[in-house]
Structures are given as C-alpha cells and as structure tokens.
Chains A and B, each alone.
Chain A
Amino acid sequence: MTSLSSFLAKWTTTVVVLAALAASAGVITSGDIAHTLNTAALMLLGALPVLRVIALAVSWARAGDRRYAAAAVLLVSLMAAGVVMVAVWR
C-alpha cells in the first residue's frame, strides 16, 4: 500500500469510527444533545469525500503529478461552483 493510501485509510477509519460513535450516541440520547451528535456524524461523513480529493490534489502536486493535481483542483472547484449555482438558481 502506498503512503498516500495508508494515510487516507487511517483518516477514513478515524472518521468512520467517530461518525458511528456520534450517530449511536445520538440515537440513544434525546433533545439538543442528540441533534448535535447526529449533525456531527453527518458533517464528518459528508466532508470526508471532498477532503479526500483535496488531499489527493496536494499529494499529487507534491509528487510532481501536475496534470492530475490540476484535475483534482478543477473537480473541487466545479463541485463548489455547482453547489453555489444550484443554490442560487433554486
């Protein structure tokens, strides 16, 4: 396994465990605490795929793989532009 895959796997495992713990705690508690825990679980999981692309862009740029680093930056930019466009359009 490459060092990048190892790094991403470790972070993914950490996020999955934290999200599972937060969601489980959110299910067995109630009120504002439950809402906060459930929201935290969703935010952790939702942010991870985008952070993964950003980590890939940085790693590829450092390794001199400029073409794919640029493609990763373009993808994140496109996703951000899409969210803004659709949010405004709606």
Chain B
Amino acid sequence: MTDVARDVLIIALAFVTSTVGSLGGLGGAILLVPLLTFGDMTIAEAAPLGLVSVIAGSVAAGRTQLRDGAVNHRFAVVTELGATAGVIVGVILAGSISDRVLTYFLATLALLAAGGGAIRKGVRWKPDPSLGADSIGEHHGSLSGVYRLNDQAVPYQPTRMGLGVSLMAIAGVVTGLAGVGGGFLKTPLSSEVMRLPAKVAAATSTFTIGLTASTALLLMAIDGRVVVSDSALVVIGSIVGGTLGSRLQRYLSPPVVRRATALVLTVIAVVLVVRA
C-alpha cells in the first residue's frame, strides 16, 4: 500500500467510526482500534489514535449537541466523578487480569447493554405541550432538564443516581483496565439505569468520553506513544464524522437511536470476541 493510500484509509476509517460513535454516544475507538490493527499497526500504536478519534469526534459533535440543548452537563459532571475514580483504579490495576478474560468480559457487557436497549419499547419521556423552545436545556441546581424532540419539548428527570454512579465507577475500572473510551458502557447505563432519554444520554456520553480520552491521551503522550502525523489524519476524519453523526442524531427518533446503538454494541461484541 502506498503512503497516500494508507493516509486516505486512516482518514476514511476515522470518519466512519466517528460517525457511528457520535450517533449513539459510543465513541468509536472500540471500532477504530481493531480495524487499524487489521493493517500494519499494533494495538499499542493504534490505541492513541483511538483516543484522538474519540476526542476529535466528541468535540466536533459537541457543537451541534450544545446548540440543540441535548447535553446535560450537571449529569455529566456527577457521573464522571465516579467514572474517573474508577479509571484511575483500573489503570493502576491494568495487567492484573489477562487480556482474554477482559475481552470476553467486555463483549458480555456490550451484549447485555445491547439487549437492554433493544428490548425496551416506546418512548419513556413524553412531550409537554405547555413547554416552549425557551425551556430546552438543563435546570439550575438539579439534574433534570428538557430536550428537543421533533420541535416538541420533552421534560426528563434522571433516577437511581446512587446505583448509576456506582455502576459508572465500575465501568471506569473496566475502561481503565481495557484502555477503551467507555462510551459503549456509559450510554446504556445513562439511558437504561438512570433513565436519561436516549438522545440526551448519547450527547452527554459523547462529552464525557472526550474528557476521559483527553486524560488518557495525556498519559500516553507522557509515555511518548503518540505519533502526531497519524493523529492528524484521524483528527481530519473524526471531525467530519463527529459532525455528521451528531446531525444525523437530530433527525432520528429515540427508538431508532436505541436500536442503532444496540446493533453497534452487538458488532462491538463480535469484534471483541474475534480479536480474542
């Protein structure tokens, strides 16, 4: 493969995985890293590029999601406290569990999350005709908010936060152990355990995985593992992909987002098992 063809392939892979990742709030590194290793890269070389993809996709998607009022920042900060603490523990424990066991564990979690999203029918939170466009956003001093759904305003109130933050901490440990972004765990936990609307869960997870990935990328940069020339290619593909995915998300109904997320999670589980 020529250098130009290799560069174009990296941009294309980053574009596709970031589009899918920002659509469902899953990130995309968990798809991009295995795909890059099918070529001439090792996992150690591909992992930093996966993190760059998550950050660029997250930031690019953030523009549209902020304008739509889809991100609940208070929810993000509270749940990320648990997840970050878990990531630190996971990174310190990394190496204590075999890669094979960890991979099968991740695949099982991805399948459970896919099942949870696919089984549920209908829309949990209903539009409130008394609310106008000016009510879209999150509420002062609370985790509740209102999001936009087909020009209607839909109020929501997350529940079971204690359980959710505890599970986020466990998800953080898993992501710290495995070196993945964790969006494929955070989004289902937010929507199915803490009952955030699917679109808000996807947008909020897209923000939080960018935060986690920034920290992890800094650690890899300290280790000298970041190849900036390849990273620039991923930045270009992921910015375009993240923007497209967040715009597509605007036009899809919550059940469609849930089913699409479930499908991608199933693909992730298969990819993980094949890699193992």
Contacts and interface: CB of A to CB of B under 8 A. Distances in A.
Interface residues of B, number: 49
B140 to A, nearest CB: 6
Given A2-B137, A38-B232, A79-B84, A12 B219 contact: no
A24 B218 contact: no
A16 B63 contact: yes
A50 B67 CA distance: 19
A84 to B, nearest CB: 10
B52 interface: yes
* Chain B contact residues, majority secondary structure: helix
* Chain A contact residues, majority secondary structure: helix
A45 interface: yes
A71 interface: yes
A20 B69 contact: no
B214 interface: yes
Interface residues of A, number: 50
Contacts of A12: 59, 62-63, 66
Q: Which of A41, A85, A86 is packed against the most chain B CB atoms within 10 Å? A: A86
A5 B232 CA distance: 28
Contact of B59 (A35, A48, A75): A48
Interface of A: 1-2, 5-6, 8-9, 12-13, 15-16, 19-20, 23-24, 26-27, 34-35, 37-39, 41-42, 45-50, 52-53, 56, 63, 65, 67-68, 71-72, 74-75, 78-79, 81-83, 85-87, 89-90
17 contacts: A1-B69, A1-B136, A12-B62, A20-B236, A27-B7, A38-B229, A41-B232, A45-B235, A49-B207, A52-B207, A53-B77, A68-B77, A71-B74, A75-B81, A79-B215, A81-B88, A85-B92
